[in-house]
Amino acid sequence: MDNKKVLTISIVAVVVLVIAIISTSYATFSAQISGEKENKLTTGYVTLKCDEEVFTLNDTSPMTDEEGIALESNEAVCTLSSEMKGEMTVGYDIALDDVDAETPDDDLTENDVKVQIYKITNEQDPAQTKYLQGTSENTGTYIANLKEKSGTYDTESVENYLIDSDKITGTTQVIYKVKAWVSNNKNGVENIQTNSVTNSDDGVCSNSEYNTQAECESAGEVWGNSQKSTQTGGTFSFKLKIGATQILEDE
Amino acid sequence: MFEEEPKENHRASFTILGIFVLLLTVVGVAIAAYTWTYTSNNANSISTGNISMSLLESTDTISIENALPMSDDKGKQLKNNGTFDFAVTTEASGQPGDINYKLSITEDNADSDYTLLNKEQVKVYLTVLTNNEDAENEVLETQVVKPTKVSDIITENSDNETGVLTFDEGQTQHLTHHHNKIGETITTKYRLRMWISDDVDASNWNESTKYQYKLKINASGSIDPIQ
Amino acid sequence: MFEEKEKNKNRGLTFTILGIFVLLLTSAGIAIAVYTWNYTSDENRISTGDISMSLLESTDVISIENALPMSDTKGKQLGKNESFDFAVTTYASGKPGDINYSISITEDAVDEGYTKLGSENVKVYLTVLPEKRNDAYQQEIEVVAPTKVSEIIKENNTGNFTFKDEQYSKHSHTSSGSTITTKYRLRMWVDSEVDASDWKKDSDSKYQYKLKIGTAGSIKPIGVVE
């Protein structure tokens, strides 16, 4: 029995040895080659900026589209420029932001304020000026009409009041202009006519110092009944906002 | 009887010991017999006399400037400066059978003034080049390593910033050269592409932020001992 | 057996849901990581002030009975009882600049039993009254010369006066919270060219002419830029 055991172990050992020898002889080929050529990539960059011009227009009054467009100093400008080292397509949404955020309850709302919106892609060529959101060279649109328009590329931050969605590649520039005015459909000072009572007061002197007809008339003032038409003032404000994001696949 | 047993054990132990000594000697001899030469005339090669393997690297390396994140679809179509061709050639004077090899990439240090990009920000993509038999001068490309982040190749456990490229399923046959004829030379040509992964946020990159990524290709081959 | 199957099903469902969530999270993560840029400008502001306009009409209206054609010279001198005073007052909380307004006349229907005189037979004349009566030398200023009503009223029985000088139909609000009043006096008479030869007592033809004053304001669309 013991001899058998020894024999078995010996045979196993020999087999192991044979296998080991065979493997070892084949394993003699083994190579490690390290390449020498350096492959490298260096990053570029994309910078976008908006050079803005803002306006403050006080004591304005309701006016027609024509007057509003002819008006000066009622224009918000964003000169959107891109500088790209490398290739990237960036999609952006430009919108009005914080619309009437400060005084939402006063008498001047997005239903009273009109805008004309356009973008200039080439200042030398006026034919390339594009009017946006249904406005034209001679007409504006109520800001309320923009409310439901959301962004295409940055749907997260541009949820409404969209002005334009576009793509930008390379180093380039687009100028956005938004002209704003109070529409003449806003109740302003209306026509007043005899007997067409808007807000009537009987027994009034043209000079408020006098309270009786005798005093009033002897001072050369006019005594009678007064009709009044009023335009209630208000403030409306907005900002311009841009949300941009890289577009990975070209449509 | 009972006492004699240890003797028997001793004998068996000696036999086994003897066999192992023999085995070690043979292995030792085999290792000592292994020699290799290294030649580098436009190619690096290692040979064992009758088997050699070489890595031929194109002088047109990848040299992408102003790289920005791009999709896999675009990265796979990179041309010229965005590609690097290399070839693995094995030559055997005899018939050693299958020579298996692996391809790996090694991260290099960035140039001075540059910061190294993270491994997860860079993707590599490897194809095999074959000649189109129907049209002369037309090269066919077959994907062998799908777009993969370097961080998935050079993992935390990798030594010396080197990681082995895992070939796609069904494409591993390229990593074996069947040397069944005497004096056969077998070459497989590859094309490597690399780009910045499209999930990288480049929003804060500007003129003064300079990032770079550099890598080299390596090949290592052996004859599978089981064969 | 049945219970086990159910369990497996549930587990399968759970894994599917989990898988979807993982997938969602992954894609959301990727979407956020790409190049993004956000910008918000400063505020643009547009504001209107409170503006009001009043027309104060004297209770002493023109009421001329037995009118006969008269010359412009005489018409211009018609006394207080034969003239109608009114005042236009504007108020602005801000400084809107010029508020321009117009003054119109509207032909009214005649009383029962009267025939309307043709508007070409009636002349009107408008003056601005001195700011204060005791401005010794300040007289009424003629702002609309004697004009036939037919030359003023063109359509819809209404027409605007054409002022000699627009400064008499304009209030310049250059300081905040200002009130400006201008007083006017209107006179009307039957033009001297009218042939009144068949106007007789108790005749069938009893003529009359009635008109109303109106005013409409507008602000020159220039805002104040600060």
Query: What is the nearest CA distance from A238 to chain B, expressed in angstroms?
Result: 26
Mean of pLDDT values over C126-135: 79
Q: Give the pLDDT confidence score for residue B139 in this predicted structure.
A: 87
B188: nearest Cα among B81, B94, B73, B55? B55
Q: Give the distance, in angstroms, between the CA of residue C37 and the centroid of all CA atoms in the same chain.
A: 48
Contacts of A235 in chain C (CB under 8 A): 45-47
- Residue B224 has phi, psi (to 5 degrees) of -60, 120
Average model confidence (pLDDT) for chain B?
80
The subunits that touch chain A, with at least 3 C-beta pairs less than 8 Å apart, are B, C
Q: Give the pLDDT confidence score for residue C24 in this predicted structure.
A: 45
Residues 6+ away with beta carbon under 8 Å from B87: B55, B56, B187, B188, B189, B190
Q: Give the pLDDT confidence score for residue B51 in this predicted structure.
A: 83
Location of structure tokens 């190749």: B153
What pLDDT digit, counting tens, does each position of A188-224 carry? 555 554 434 456 678 889 988 899 999 988 888 889 8
What pLDDT digit, counting tens, does each position of C79-125 carry? 877 888 999 998 888 887 888 888 888 888 888 888 888 889 999 99
**pLDDT confidence bin for A88, thresholds 50/70/90:** very high
Mean of pLDDT values over B188-198: 95
Residue A74: which domain range?
A: 45-187+234-247
Q: Are residues C113 and C9 in the same domain?
A: no
Q: Give the pLDDT confidence score for residue B39 in this predicted structure.
A: 32
Q: Are A31 and B53 in contact (CB under 8 A)?
A: yes
Q: Taking CB atoms and an 8 Å limit, are C36 and B203 in contact across chains? A: yes
Q: Give the pLDDT confidence score for residue C181 in this predicted structure.
A: 93
**pLDDT confidence bin for B27, thresholds 50/70/90:** very low
Q: Are residues C190 and C103 in the same domain?
A: yes
Sorted by where each begins, the domain ranges of chain B are 50-223
Of C48, C49, C58, the CB nearest to A223: C58
| Interface test mutation site (partner A, options C55, C99, C161, max chain A beta carbons within 10 A) | C55
Q: Which two tokens stand for residue C118?
A: 């043709």
Q: Give the distance, in angstroms, between the CA of residue B158 and the centroid of all CA atoms in the same chain.
A: 13
pLDDT at A89 over 70: yes
What pLDDT digit, counting tens, does each position of C152-194 carry? 998 788 888 999 998 898 899 888 899 999 999 999 999 998 8
Which residue of chain C has the CA closest to A52? Answer: C41
Q: Are residues C163 and C60 in the same domain?
A: yes
**pLDDT confidence bin for B74, thresholds 50/70/90:** very high
Query: What is the nearest CA distance from C189 to chain A, expressed in angstroms?
Result: 20
For chains A and B, CB pairs below 8 A equal 205
pLDDT at B9 over 70: no
Contacts of C128 in chain A (CB under 8 A): none
Count of Cβ atoms closer than 10 Å to residue C7 Cβ: 10
- Say which residue, B219 or A186, is predicted with more confidence: B219
Provide the CATH number for the domain around residue A167. Answer: 2.60.40
Lowest mean pLDDT among A63-77, A220-234, B173-187: A220-234
Residue C77: which domain range?
A: 51-219
Q: Are A167 and A90 in contact (CB under 8 A)?
A: yes
Average model confidence (pLDDT) for chain C?
78
Contacts of C171 in chain A (CB under 8 A): none
pLDDT at C225 over 50: no
Q: Give the pLDDT confidence score for residue B8 in this predicted structure.
A: 54
In a domain, A227, yes or no: no
What pLDDT digit, counting tens, does each position of A90-120 carry? 999 999 999 999 999 988 899 999 999 999 9
Q: Taking CB atoms and an 8 Å limit, are A41 and B62 in contact across chains? A: yes
In a domain, A209, yes or no: no
Q: Are A73 and C60 in contact (CB under 8 A)?
A: no
Which residue of chain B has the CA closest to C36? Answer: B203
Q: Give the pLDDT confidence score for residue C221 in this predicted structure.
A: 44
Domain count, chain C: 2
Contacts of B8 in chain A (CB under 8 A): 2, 6
Q: Give the pLDDT confidence score for residue C145 in this predicted structure.
A: 95
What pLDDT digit, counting tens, does each position of A116-149 carry? 999 999 888 888 899 999 999 999 999 999 999 9
pLDDT at B61 over 70: yes
Q: Are residues C200 and C175 in the same domain?
A: yes
Contacts of C45 in chain A (CB under 8 A): 55-58, 235-237
What pLDDT digit, counting tens, does each position of B155-184 carry? 987 777 899 999 999 999 999 999 888 888
Of B30, B46, B67, the CB nearest to A33: B46
pLDDT at A81 over 50: yes
ipTM for the predicted complex: 0.76
Q: Give the pLDDT confidence score for residue C27 in this predicted structure.
A: 41
Domain count, chain A: 1
Angle, helix B5-33 to helix A2-26, in steps of 10 degrees: 10
Which amino acid, residue A215? E
Provide the CATH number for the domain around residue C149. Answer: 2.60.120
Q: Are residues C16 and C110 in the same domain?
A: no
- In the stretch 37-76 of chain C, residues with CB closer than 8 A to chain A read 37-60
- Angstrom CA distances, A90 to A78, A97, C118, stand at 17, 21, 74
Which helix (DSSP H) or strand (DSSP E) does residue A25 occupy?
helix A2-26
| Interface test mutation site (partner C, options B149, B198, B199, max chain C beta carbons within 10 A) | B199
What pLDDT digit, counting tens, does each position of A3-20 carry? 777 778 777 766 665 555
Q: Taking CB atoms and an 8 Å limit, are B108 and A28 in contact across chains? A: no
- Say which residue, C53 or B154, is predicted with more confidence: B154
Q: Which two tokens stand for residue C99?
A: 């508020």
d(CA A2, CA A43): 75
- In the stretch 81-120 of chain B, residues with CB closer than 8 A to chain A read 84, 86, 96, 99, 101, 106, 108, 111, 114, 117
Of C37, C56, C221, the CB nearest to A224: C56
